[in-house]
A and B are shown apart, each in its own frame.
Chain A
Amino acid sequence: MSGALAFAWSGVLLFGLGLFGFIMHRHLLRRLLAFNIMGSGSFLVLVGLAQDGRGVDPVPHAMVITGIVVAVASTALALVVFRRWYRASGRTDLPEDT
């Protein structure tokens, strides 16, 4: 049973690690990387939980593709806003954070 859930366990660990990075880092690029690690964690949980010996469930696979596209779009948007903010202020973190 736990063998089949290896992906879900990794997802749980990744989510926890990503959350720690998201809280601890101030540099916006690092926070975005942490966000992406958390995202990968959620996707692994989504796919991993569906592996229970009843064959492949295509629904979580499709959901993860949708999730990845959404994460790509969010990350790109965040990078665009971040670069504009850096250009306008010369800072890599948010003002109230320091």
Chain B
Amino acid sequence: MSLRAGLAGLLCLGVTLALGWAVLERPQPAENLPERVAGAMPDSGVEHAVTAVLLNFRSYDTLLEIAVLLLAVVVALALREAQPDRPEPMGLENPLLRAVMAWLLPLILVVAGFLLWAGSYQPGGAFQAGSVLAAAGVLLRLAGVTTAWLDNAALMRTGLALGLLTFLGIGVVVMAPGVPFLAYPPEYAGTLILVIELTLTLSIGLTLISLFRLTPPYADDPDDARSDREARP
């Protein structure tokens, strides 16, 4: 064991030193990308450069990134279907938590809305807003608040896919002879980006909530898992 640790330690030390050397000896970039970003900002439809990069200049990356998120949920859904969970009431029977939720929930929604709206001119945006929404969903779940609409599979899937579908649809709709995929006309760029961000926020929020809800709820008890395993052929 100690030999293993020693070897691993040496390896990691080597990697760290090599990385440090690479950082130390780094040449100055010849290409000045920030300047190009600044030059293209007027045509981007938003005022915040990071949002412009995420949803206009490099929007293709963001499109694929949303696909990665959706993929994780698809796998979680698939595994739940193949290894069904027993329904189990979950949530802490805690009156204090419930009482605080009543105060917190509207506040969380306002914060999410603000983050989404702020994204166009300062740090913020769809992912941040979606994460805050997801936090609300997780809190609801922990407080044991029943959320029937979250259990409606068809509605849920539509919500999960909405962001990617809208993004993809807008990317295709703007296409015309000589106008490539995802090239928004500058005069509509702001609106289109807002529509994309709105749907993305909703879908990202639902995705993160679903990932939380789709893990087996009771497996923390190994005896339970074992008896379940033995019951199967």
Q: Decide whether A and B are members of one complex.
A: yes
Q: Determine whether the beta carbon of A86 is less than 8 Å from that of B50.
A: no
Partner of B37, one of A58, A76, A80: A58
Q: Report A's interface with B, CB cutoff 8 A.
A: 5, 8-9, 12-13, 15-17, 19-20, 23-24, 45, 49, 52, 54-59, 61-63, 65-66, 68-70, 72-74, 76-77, 79-81, 83-84, 86-90
- When C-beta atoms are compared, the residue in chain A nearest to B53 turns out to be A62
Binding site for A on B (CB under 8 A): 4-5, 8-9, 11-13, 15-16, 19-20, 23, 26, 28-29, 32-34, 37, 49-50, 52-54, 58, 61-62, 65-66, 68-69, 71-72, 75-76, 79, 83, 125, 127, 204, 208, 211, 214-216, 219, 222, 225-226, 228-229
A80 and B211 form a contact (CB under 8 A): yes
Q: How long is the Cα–Cα vector from A90 to B11 in the complex, in angstroms?
A: 32
Chain A residues, CB < 8 A from B53: 58-59, 61-62
Given A23-B11, A69-B65, answer yes or no on A56-B34 (Cβ-Cβ < 8 Å).
yes
Taking CB atoms, residues of chain B closer than 8 Å to A24 are 4-5, 8
A88, B229: Cβ atoms closer than 8 Å: yes
Determine whether the beta carbon of B127 is less than 8 Å from that of A65: yes
Interchain CA distance A31-B118 in the complex, whole Å: 36
Max count, chain B CB within 10 A of own CB: residue among A9, A55, A66: A66
Q: Is the CB of A45 within 8 A of B23?
A: yes
Provide the residues of chain B in CB contact with A12, threshold 8 Å. Answer: 16, 19-20, 23
